[in-house]
């Protein structure tokens, strides 16, 4: 077990070139290297502005091009969330405001965006009034070049208000006889669309032999200059007996995981590895990388008492 004077203890230097930063190794170890008992945090004043704006694009291709263009600049946005057309329809259905959604759909059609192809995008700007105003101007210029339609803050405010409701919806769906799960990865920009399509297709194909169907939709939630995360949600009917239900979920999960590995994506962008993703980690780290991690864990926890069986065998 590690102590504040242990091998990962480091003075609070602003920066250091004294070899690899061991804290990164610890933070990714999922508890295999020890337990944090003492943490220093940094606090900041609340920003002057923390706004989210809603945008619609005519197609997924145009939306991805716009988001990639923004990610490749120095525009200071705090978040980007781009839903594909299926998730956009789901967002409409879950609002519970049929008249407002009907008016929005009518307005989008007037602006040349069809209900079937529309992709919803949320962009957040956080900071001082001056900096967020400059970031908005630069971002919205890119949006307009890719035929995006700005709806404004009301849509962003609605998302902020309801963004944590999904856990409760998940529980309600279970009571109604449906299971819902999520999975995610990250790939370079040239692979975003094909990987998303392959993941969704793998889920549909896996459950088809059972004469069952799965509802699948995806969004990009973390964008980088060289790529993006892909976050996929899938919904399917509960099966009897429970063992069959578990086996079906495992088949869906494994099919999507194999697709991710084949596409060259990371097996986990933010969810962690745990046990579910463990069989696929070697494809990402390589044999030498896995061996190095095994040696580190063996050195720091020879009795395997710290969260055993997670991350690595």
Tokens describing residue 49: 């502005």
Average pLDDT across the chain, whole number: 92
**Do 272 and 305 touch, CB atoms closer than 8 A?**
no
Tokens 């849509």, residue located: 155
54 confidence band (pLDDT: 50, 70, 90): very high
7 confidence band (pLDDT: 50, 70, 90): low
Q: Supply the pTM of this predicted model.
A: 0.92
What number is the average pLDDT over the span 13-26?
Answer: 84
pLDDT at 10: 58
Helix (H, G, I), strand (E, B) or coil at 12: coil
Measured CA to CA, the distance from residue 239 to residue 247 in angstroms comes to 10
Measured CA to CA, the distance from residue 201 to residue 151 in angstroms comes to 31
pLDDT digits (tens, 9 = 90+) for 117-173: 999 999 999 999 999 999 999 999 999 999 999 999 999 999 998 888 888 888 899
pLDDT digits (tens, 9 = 90+) for 210-249: 999 999 999 999 999 999 999 999 999 999 999 999 999 9
Measured CA to CA, the distance from residue 299 to residue 166 in angstroms comes to 41
Tokens 């509802």, residue located: 215
């Amino acid at each position: 077990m590690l102590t504040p004077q242990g091998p990962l203890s480091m003075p609070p230097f602003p920066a250091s070139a004294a070899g690899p930063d061991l804290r990164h190794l610890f933070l990714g170890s999922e508890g295999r290297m020890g337990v944090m008992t003492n943490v220093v945090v940094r606090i900041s004043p609340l920003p002057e502005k923390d706004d989210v704006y809603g945008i619609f694009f005519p197609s997924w291709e145009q939306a991805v091009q716009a988001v990639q263009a923004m990610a490749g600049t120095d525009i200071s946005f705090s978040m980007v969330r781009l839903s594909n057309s299926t998730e956009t329809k789901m967002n409409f259905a879950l609002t519970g405001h049929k008249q407002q959604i009907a008016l929005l759909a009518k307005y989008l059609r007037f602006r040349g965006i069809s209900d079937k192809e529309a992709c919803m995008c949320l962009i957040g700007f956080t900071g001082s009034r001056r900096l967020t105003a400059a970031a908005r101007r630069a971002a919205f210029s890119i949006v307009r070049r890719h035929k995006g339609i700005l709806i404004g803050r009301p849509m962003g405010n609605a998302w902020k208000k309801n963004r944590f409701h999904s856990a409760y919806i998940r529980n309600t769906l279970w009571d109604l006889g449906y299971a819902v799960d999520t999975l995610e990865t990250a790939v370079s920009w040239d692979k975003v669309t094909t990987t998303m399509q392959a993941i969704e297709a793998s889920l549909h194909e896996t459950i088809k032999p059972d004469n069952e169907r799965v509802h699948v939709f995806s969004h990009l939630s973390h964008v980088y200059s060289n790529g993006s995360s892909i976050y996929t949600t899938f919904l399917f009917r509960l099966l009897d007996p429970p063992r069959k239900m578990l086996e079906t979920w495992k088949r869906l999960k494994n099919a999507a995981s194999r697709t991710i590995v084949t596409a060259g994506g990371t097996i986990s962008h933010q969810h962690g590895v745990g046990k579910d993703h463990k069989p696929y980690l070697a494809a990402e780290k390589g044999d030498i990388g896995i061996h190095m991690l095994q040696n580190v864990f063996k050195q720091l926890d020879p009795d395997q008492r710290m969260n055993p069986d997670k991350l690595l065998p």
